[in-house]
Structure 1
Amino acid sequence: MKRTKLINHLTELLKPFQISDYCPNGLQVEGKSEIKKIVTGVTASHALIDAAIERGADAILVHHGYFWKGEDQTITGMKKRRIQRLLAHDINLIAYHLPLDVHPELGNNAQLGALLGLDIERPLEPWNKSSVAVKGKLATPMSVEDFAILIENKLGRAPLVNAAGDHLIKTVAWCTGGGQSFIDLAASQGIDAYLTGEASEQTIHSSNEQSIHFFAAGHHATERYGVKALGEYLATQFDLEVEFIDIHNPV
Structure 2
Amino acid sequence: MQRTKLVNQLTELLKPFQINDYCPNGLQVEGKAEIKKLVTGVTASQALIDAAIEKQADAILVHHGYFWKGEDQTITGMKQRRIKSLLANDINLLAYHLPLDVHPELGNNAQLGELLDLVVERPLEPWNKNSVAVKGKLKSPMSVAQFSALIEEKLDRKPLVNQAGDHEIKTIAWCTGGGQSFIDLAASQGIDAYLTGEASEQTIHSSTEQGIHFFAAGHHATERYGVKALGEYLADKYDLDVEFVDIHNPV
TM-score bracket relative to the smaller structure: over 0.9
Q: 1:115 matched to which residue of 2?
A: 115
Instruction: Name the Cα RMSD after superposition.
Output: 0.3
Aligned residue number for residue 196 of structure 1 = 196
Q: Distance in 2 between matches of 1:239 and 1:218?
A: 32
Structure 1 partner of 2:208: 208
Match runs of 1:10-25 below 5 Å: 10-25=10-25
Q: How does 1:227-238 map to 2 (within 5 A)?
A: 227-238=227-238
Deviation at 1:129, TM superposition (A): 1.8
Equivalent positions of 1:63-212 (< 5 A) are 63-212=63-212
2:53 is aligned with 1:59: no
Q: Quick one: distance in 2 between partners of 1:239 and 1:125? A: 37
Q: SS at 2:178's partner residue?
A: coil
State the one-letter code of the partner of 1:59: A
Post-superposition Cα deviations, 1:81-128, rounded to whole Å, max 9, x if no partner, equal 000000000000000000000000000000000000101100000101
Distance in 2 between residues matched to 1:235 and 1:101, nearest whole Å: 20
**Distance of 1:53 and 1:68 partners within structure 2:** 24
The percent identity for this pair of structures is 85
C-alpha separation in 2, matches of 1:129 and 1:150 = 30
Letter in 1 for 2:213: H
Q: Deviations over 1:115-172 (max 9, x none)?
A: 0010110000010122100001001100000000000000000000000001000000
Moved over 6 A (4+): none
Distance, in Å, in 2 between the alignment partners of 1:129 and 1:74 is: 34
TM-score by length of 1: 1.00
Report if aligned partners of 1:20, 1:130 keep a CA contact under 8 Å in 2: no
Once residues 210 and 76 of structure 2 are traced to their aligned partners in structure 1, the CA distance between those partners, rounded to angstroms, is 45
**Could you list the per-position Cα deviations for residues 151-206 of structure 1 after superposition, in whole angstroms to 9, with x for gaps in the alignment?**
00000000000000010000000000000000000000000000000000000000
The separation in 1 between residues aligned to 2:163 and 2:248, in whole angstroms, is: 28
Query: For 2:186 and 2:136, how far apart are their aligned partners in 1?
Result: 11
State the shift of 1:239 in Å: 2.3
Task: Mark the runs of 5 or more structure 2 residues left unpaired by the alignment.
Answer: none
* Aligned counterparts of 1:240 and 1:130: Cα–Cα separation in 2: 29
- The equivalent of 1:48 in structure 2 is 48
Question: Hey, what's the Cα distance between the residues in 2 that align with 1:138 and 1:119?
Answer: 6
In structure 2, the residue corresponding to 1:242 is in which secondary structure?
strand
Matches of 1:46 and 1:83, distance apart in 2: 9
Which residue identity is paired with 1:178?
G
Q: TM-score, normalised by structure 2?
A: 1.00
**Contact 1:23–1:97 (8 Å) recurs in 2:** yes
Asked if structure 2 preserves the Cα contact closer than 8 Å seen for 1:40 and 1:227, the reply is yes
Whole-Å separation in 1 of the counterparts to 2:218 and 2:163: 17
Unaligned segments of structure 1, at least 5 residues: none
2: CA distance between counterparts of 1:81 and 1:120?
A: 41
